[in-house]
Amino acid sequence: MPIHEKSLIRPENMKTNDQELIIDGINVAGHWSTFIESRVITDYNENLQDEIEALPGGEFIHRCWQCGSCTNSCTVNAIEPRFNPRYWIYLIRTGMEQELLRDKDIIWMCVSCNKCTYACPRDVVPEGVMKATSHWLEMKGYTPKSPSTIFDEIFSSQVIERGKIEDTEVLTQFLRRTGQPLMQDWLKEIVFKVATKLPVTWGLKSMLAMVFKPKTRDWDRARLAIEEYIHEKEAEHRSALGLNGSHPEHDDHANEWDMRRQEVGSHIDQGDVSVPAGHHDESARSDFARRAGHINPPH
């Protein structure tokens, strides 16, 4: 069946005459009289491909020529036939947004095994397209944040805030935010094995780290630069998706970033900016200092 007809073969579009009907001695009721109800598509989103391309991972969706290698090699498709990257890429490229939304509850199930990426002859990076599509659904408000997005937020927030990762805190926060119980059988088993095989001091250090939350020395300057970059990229993505209105969460982040920049700037003299290792050239130093709020950007 041609892929462009797939959306028509749905139960709600199938009509059947269940009443007995005899013509020339033949009962033509039931499947003999099944037909597809006509449908006019008026819900095209002409910017759908551009919106996906604007998000990380979706940059090469325009290369797809619908060979089907991604779906054929997909790990998830083997156990969930509805998971069809080839079909979703087709819908995105043709702007059929409402058809794409029919599968919004399973698109996020991509496990990032990257079999599709290796199989793709056009370097579309289908795994990246699936991630970009999942984020597009979340940013548009069509779906809540997926577990993988929640984990990414918790993990990256620790890196940005402190320059360090505390595994125990990442796990406990993830379980809380996803509504899972903290004490699970598999987790108890891991904790027991760790407690019996590792020194007691390791456990004490982990508990102290959750309480006092240590961070990398002189991390504030780097954190400000990272936060500004993230804020800029988020603004670009929202603009590409036509989400230019005020968003409480992003406004809070922007206000928090301004407060932090002022706080750090009050303790550092202008021109006395510490640049992370590897940034030795003057242009990198100036860019980093500008992001930290100590040098005005050029006009």
Asked if the model's pLDDT at residue 120 lies above 90, the reply is: yes
Mean pLDDT calculated for residue range 87-95: 94
Tell me: do 200 and 231 sit in the same domain: no
Which of 178, 212, 246 is the endpoint of a domain? 212
Mean pLDDT calculated for residue range 173-186: 89
Tell me: do 202 and 235 sit in the same domain: no
Residue with the bigger pLDDT between 164 and 274: it is 164
Tell me: do 175 and 227 sit in the same domain: no
Of the candidates 279, 217, 285, 225, the one whose C-alpha atom is nearest the C-alpha of residue 257 is 225
Mean pLDDT calculated for residue range 96-120: 93
Tell me: do 113 and 62 sit in the same domain: yes
> What is the DSSP code (8-state) at residue 26?
E
Q: What's the predicted TM-score (pTM) here? A: 0.70
Mean pLDDT calculated for residue range 122-143: 95
Q: How confident is the model at residue 54 (pLDDT cuts 50, 70, 90)?
A: very high
Q: Is residue 189, in this structure, part of any structural domain at all?
A: yes
Alpha-carbon distance 94 to 252, whole Å? 36
Write the pLDDT tens digit of every residue in 155-172. 999 999 999 888 888 988
Asked if the model's pLDDT at residue 91 lies above 60, the reply is: yes
What's the chain's average pLDDT? 80
Give me the pLDDT at residue 258, please: 57
Which residue is it, tokens 């970009």?
132
Mean pLDDT calculated for residue range 77-106: 93
Q: Is the dihedral of CA 76, 78, 83, 84 positive or negative?
A: positive
Tell me: do 53 and 136 sit in the same domain: yes
> Can you give the residue range of the structural domain that contains 7?
3-36
Asked if the model's pLDDT at residue 16 lies above 90, the reply is: no
Asked if the model's pLDDT at residue 29 lies above 90, the reply is: no
Q: How confident is the model at residue 182 (pLDDT cuts 50, 70, 90)?
A: confident
Q: Is residue 41, in this structure, part of any structural domain at all?
A: no
Asked if the model's pLDDT at residue 20 lies above 80, the reply is: no
Tell me: do 206 and 228 sit in the same domain: no
CB count in 10 Å sphere of residue 150: 15
Q: Is residue 126, in this structure, part of any structural domain at all?
A: yes
Backbone φ and ψ for 217, nearest 5 degrees, come out as -65, 140
Q: Is residue 272, in this structure, part of any structural domain at all?
A: yes
Q: Is residue 61, in this structure, part of any structural domain at all?
A: yes
Q: Is residue 7, in this structure, part of any structural domain at all?
A: yes
Task: Domain count for the chain, please give it.
Answer: 4
Asked if the model's pLDDT at residue 125 lies above 90, the reply is: yes
Tell me: do 133 and 56 sit in the same domain: yes
Tell me: do 100 and 179 sit in the same domain: no
Q: Is residue 145, in this structure, part of any structural domain at all?
A: no
Tell me: do 61 and 88 sit in the same domain: yes
Alpha-carbon distance 126 to 112, whole Å? 10
Mean pLDDT calculated for residue range 148-157: 92
Tell me: do 182 and 235 sit in the same domain: no
Of the candidates 227, 222, 221, 231, the one whose C-alpha atom is nearest the C-alpha of residue 251 is 231
Asked if the model's pLDDT at residue 175 lies above 90, the reply is: yes
Tell me: do 181 and 242 sit in the same domain: no
Asked if the model's pLDDT at residue 207 lies above 60, the reply is: yes
Mean pLDDT calculated for residue range 209-226: 85
Give me the pLDDT at residue 173, please: 92
Cβ atoms 57, 132 nearer than 8 A? yes
